[in-house]
Amino acid sequence: MPKGFQANALACGIKKSGKLDLALFTSSLAAKASCKFSANKIQAAPILVNRFNLRDSQAFRAVIVNSGNANCFCGRQGIKDAFQVAKALARTLGVRKNEVLLASTGIIGRRLPVEKIQQALPKLVDGLSLQGADKAKRAILTTDTFSKTLTVYVTIGGQKVTICGMAKGAGMIAPDMATMLVFLFTDAHILKSALEGALRICVEETFNCITVDGCMSTNDSVIMLANGSAGNTLIKTGKDFNLFLHALKVVCLELAKMIVRDAEGASKFIQIKVDEARDFQEAKKFALAIANSNLFKTAAFGENPNFGRIVAALGSCGVDLKEEDLKVRVSPLKKKEILIRVSVKRGKSSAVVYTSDLTPEYIRINAAYN
């Protein structure tokens, strides 16, 4: 964890398995926050509460995360429950309730067990430490088979700046955003607008470029806190901003790839690169058309080199595409990592999307999820 941050996690009884299900991250200093949330029109209660707090406060001290329960589709009661958790945590930490951000992941439509969470808060807070991140990264998981973390160091203004990231996600993965929770912490001293700009760029080029099944969740969140403990010169624009942006992008891209590698039931990791498009968005649209094609994904699982499925997906985008301008290259399908290269001869822009195959195991996992 970067300077000034601590974490902890425990099992408070949300998961019947008894596994870790409640995580807490705190900053000793007031931190700037930048967040990105699901584009789903049905949004979970913690997202709605976060949006309110982000409008109401400029400084944040804590992020509390529960797994096993999404606190979504519970009406006004779900929002009251989320506010109640934030209020109880703020009281335990000795901070304001609008300095708390929340995240939940798990089954939709079940009320959050607020009493269990409240009872666990004193022990959760007492156990905060730098080493607590090891438990926290496991407490945020649901169907994941491994925890996803990365820490990057970069020198800015003569000072070492740390960016730490951890994520969960394995199923219901679609762009804008993938079904995931991502938590990013940095001790960088950075202007709020620069922090927001860097996160916006990174999310668009990483988490919004992965897909497993094309299904969008209600709880997707990327939450980033920056507390300035590194003591570097204030990051605004120019060289310092570019250094920070590059480091943040490394963290986000690697976490995004980990999510795809852990895709439910997946046996293949597939990279799709489209080049010679008119702009990034067009290239990304072509790439996602392939990545979200169930026919292509099942062919990849069966190691069946049916190029027609790729071509058909490209032609379904609604973008004018001439057959004579299209070039498709596919690496050997028998390998666990597959590269698809597509050239469309429309311009000079490119985009890369990451996906997985679709297997019988994916069906088994999701048929019995709840």
The set of catalytic residues is 179
Buried b / exposed e over 119-140, threshold 16 CB at 10 Å, is: ebbeebbebbeeebbebbbbbb
Q: What is the DSSP letter of 359?
A: -
DSSP conformation letters of 285-353: HHHHHHHT-HHHHHHHHTT---HHHHHHHHHTTSS---GGG-EEEE--TTSSEEEEEEE-SS-SEEEEE
Strands 22-37 and 221-226: antiparallel
C-beta separation of 173 from 260 below 8 A: yes
- Sign of the alpha-carbon dihedral angle for 101, 48, 66, 76: positive
Q: Which two tokens stand for residue 109?
A: 């439509």
Rounded to whole angstroms, the Cα distance separating 346 from 330 reads 20
Strands 269-277 and 337-343: parallel
Among 228, 360, 208, residue whose Cα is nearest residue 298: 360
C-beta separation of 187 from 5 below 8 A: yes
